[in-house]
Amino acid sequence: MASIPESLHARLQNAAADDQELGIKQRFVEDASRAERFSIRHEQLYFDFSKTHISVELLELYSEYAEKIGFKGKQQELFQGALVNATEERPALHTLLRDPDNHGVALLDDQVAKQARDSLAQFKQSFERIQKNLGERATPVTDIIHIGIGGSSLGTQLLFEALRDFDETKRIHFIGNIDGHQLASVLSACKPESTLVIGVSKTFSTAETLQNIRSVGQWYEGNGGADFLQSVFAVTANANNAKQFGVPENNTVTFPEWVGGRYSVWSAVSLSAALVIGYQRFTEFLAGAAAMDEHFLNTPLENNLSFVAAAMDHYYCNYFSAGSRAIFAYDFRLRSLVDYLQQLETESNGKDRQVDGTQVDQLTSPVIWGGVGTNVQHSVFQMLHQGTSLIPAEFILVARPDHDLSSHHQELLANGLAQPAALLAGQNVDDIERQDRTKDLTELAINAKIFSGERPSTTILLESLTARSLGALLAYYEQRTYSFGVLCNINSFDQMGVELGKRLAKELQPMLSKNAENEPSSFDASTLRLIEEVISKG
């Protein structure tokens, strides 16, 4: 690997060979304090890395690698507002939204901090104005339709689901997909007079978002509503486009242009969720993230949560050929977390080009997947325990619930703790015979019950799911994603891979009409044949 010094690459290969031979269980035998040594506490969060192949020696290797590539300097560049997104010549300063004082780090452009402060102030003013408007309505708002796709929706949905009160009467419906089935389902549950519409798009030119807003307008006016756009609030970095679309200027809430889509949950993009959970809890969410940023900036790498996790991600991806990583949230309120992290990590680091434009010489983003426990135990866990692929897993647990069903929560936690223990321990013939000593098992049945264990996992334990702990958790994943990108020498802040499909969709759409003219096309024969089939069945 050219981006990793050859001597260091060889030492990491040797470390992986030794780890595969020794295993994780033996490390616990050799070190009675391993669980304590490789666990890190941050405020209300506790991270246990001890069930992975982590070791003092491995962290030393990655610390050495970090020094060679100037990792500390790249941390500073991120917070200074350097053009870390080199291909688009942009900084990535979403962290300013959670701390405009920037942890004391001087910005290259001192006007950016003012933009962040102004953005937060405007968001608060807009929030208070909209809340006042809602309170003055003759018919109370019962439903909010949040229209946005990707980063304009995923984080806000996670925030709403994680922090809403059980007795909250307002519902938020998230519309991202252009599929009319989703929109029709939402509209069937709403009434125009009690519905608020919030359209979210950084450019306010996203085709799916604008089409969905127009369709909601047709429903609104077709069901007795008047002046639809007076009931629409636009959240965007491009106020001019929102104005041209017809949204009143007083109904437009802006955020800085330097806020990237998948990093926009900290901005006015989360307006709809803030209207439900309250502005105070939204500021607590920002404060939790700011505290994690402080940890990332100032903690030595061997105890730096995001760097340690990113180092293990890089190690498993490149030296254990782990092509995916599984994430399991043992809390129903975090049911959208995996979707959020899929975009954050794979859109950021699913790259085949280094920062200088040359081909990467290592594996970058693994596939991120997972689900909610205990549901997934009855589907994908068979593969985790006995499958032929090594899949590092993460378990996210919440110690204290916000309900009174204590027996349910105890059983949930028992499962969430037992699964990583089982992934580590495995099961041999002696274990099977002890457990099934009253059964007359065939040799075939015994062999089917054997699994090796030694499957790595990390456990993240939250004391409780609060706005602050959720903010810290998401900031941890952001900085982890950035750290992995630095280790792979890639730009984590562009997303060129999504552009081609969008362009081709615009070219293809007119061809789906039965009256379309048969003009020469550059599409492949398979796609042209599929177009014919769609038209014939339509």
Does the annotation count 378 as an active-site position?
A: yes
Q: Which of 191, 208, 190 is nearest to 199 (CA)?
A: 208
Does the annotation count 51 as an active-site position?
A: no
CA distances from 325 to 342, 345, 371, 383 (A): 10, 11, 12, 13
- Two structure tokens written together for 203: 């450019």
Which amino acid, residue 270?
Answer: S
Q: How far apart are CA 526 and CA 538, in angstroms?
A: 18
CA angle, 146 then 151 then 152, to 5°: 30
Answer yes or no: are the C-beta atoms of 229 and 248 closer than 8 Å: yes
Q: How far apart are CA 199 and CA 146, in angstroms?
A: 6
Contacts of 297 (CB under 8 A, 6+ apart): 75, 79, 103, 105
Does the annotation count 347 as an active-site position?
A: yes
- Tell me the β-bridge partners of 353: 359
Answer yes or no: are the C-beta atoms of 442 and 23 closer than 8 Å: no
199 three-class SS: strand
Which amino acid, residue 324?
Answer: S
Helical pair 467-488 and 154-163, crossing angle rounded to 10 deg: 150
> Phi and psi of 460, rounded to 5°?
-115, 120
- Two structure tokens written together for 226: 């008047």
Which amino acid, residue 504?
Answer: L
Active-site entry in 345, 347, 394, 454: 347
Evaluated on CA atoms 351, 354, 355, 356, the torsion sign reads negative
CA angle, 32 then 38 then 44, to 5°: 120
Active-site entry in 132, 378, 403, 537: 378
Q: How far apart are CA 62 and CA 276, in angstroms?
A: 43
Active-site entry in 68, 502, 507, 532: 502
**Which residues are marked as active site?**
347, 378, 502
